[in-house]
Amino acid sequence: MRYLLVIIAMLGLSACSLSPVKTTPLTRYTLNALPTKVVTAKSTRLTLGVATPLAEPGYATRQFAYSTKPHQLDYYANNQWVAPPASMLLPEIVRSLARTKHFRAVIGAPYTVSADVQLDTRLLKLRENFQHELPVIELEVQANLISLRRGRIIASKLFSIKEPVRETNPASAVLAANRASAKLLAALARFSVKATS
């Protein structure tokens, strides 16, 4: 009888191990909001090349970053970007700058033609910060405009944007990140136009 009970218990345990394990599905998000207002300026004969944005360590990943303590970075387990945010910014920067009509052409990396001016950007921060009373998205990007003819930097600026998160869930944080991104794109367009006018 004891052997029979052991066999029944083993069969019950093996049946439990064969059942599918329920996991939370992974949700992927995009960063692709363009500014609602188009920055326009007098047209020039300049061709602007937009280099592939670089990212600081901790942000060169698809993982969705957040912070609850100073100098600490964590990532959501079941929510991530479809691609690293810096790479998602490249086509949006190109589109936003092309909409200004200021440049003869705006080309994204890798270029097959030569450019007169190049825009280099580095993503320094893109995270949801819970260290405030209400969470905020923090987006920081360093931008440099380089004259390729002269081989020197003609303008440099640090963009720092904070956008409130309206609800405490990842989807709301993504909406805030897209609003912050749209503000960044508008600021980059103004910066690029002013520096090359």
- State how far the Cα of 9 lies from the Cα of 132, in Å rounded to an integer: 52
Q: Is residue 95 part of a domain?
A: yes
Q: What is the pLDDT of residues 25-52, one digit of tens each?
A: 899 999 999 898 888 889 999 999 999 9
Number of domains in the chain: 1
Q: What is the pLDDT of residues 133-152, one digit of tens each?
A: 899 999 999 999 999 999 99
Q: Which domain holds residue 182?
A: 27-196
Task: Enter the tokens of residue 102.
Answer: 């200021």
- The DSSP string of 156-173 is EEEEEEEEE-SSSSHHHH
Q: What is the pLDDT of residues 174-189, one digit of tens each?
A: 999 999 999 999 999 9
Q: Is residue 2 part of a domain?
A: no
What CATH number does the domain containing 183 carry? 3.40.50.10610
Cβ proximity of 86 and 141 under 8 Å: no
Q: Is residue 17 part of a domain?
A: no
Single pTM value for the model? 0.86
Residue-averaged pLDDT of the chain: 91
Q: Is residue 6 part of a domain?
A: no
Q: Is residue 66 part of a domain?
A: yes
Average pLDDT estimate for 78-85: 96
List, in sequence order, every residue forming a beta bridge with 66; answer none if it has no partner: 74, 128
Phi and psi of 177, rounded to 5°? -65, -40
Q: Return the sign of the alpha-carbon dihedral for residues 158, 105, 50, 91.
A: positive
Let me know how long the chain is.
Answer: 197
Q: Is residue 5 part of a domain?
A: no
Please determine, for residue 10, whether its predicted confidence score (pLDDT) is greater than 70. no
Q: Is residue 11 part of a domain?
A: no
Q: Is residue 20 part of a domain?
A: no
Q: What is the pLDDT of residue 113?
A: 84
Burial class (CB in 10 A: 0-12, 13-18, 19+), 119: buried
Please determine, for residue 72, whether its predicted confidence score (pLDDT) is greater than 70. yes
Q: What is the pLDDT of residue 25?
A: 87
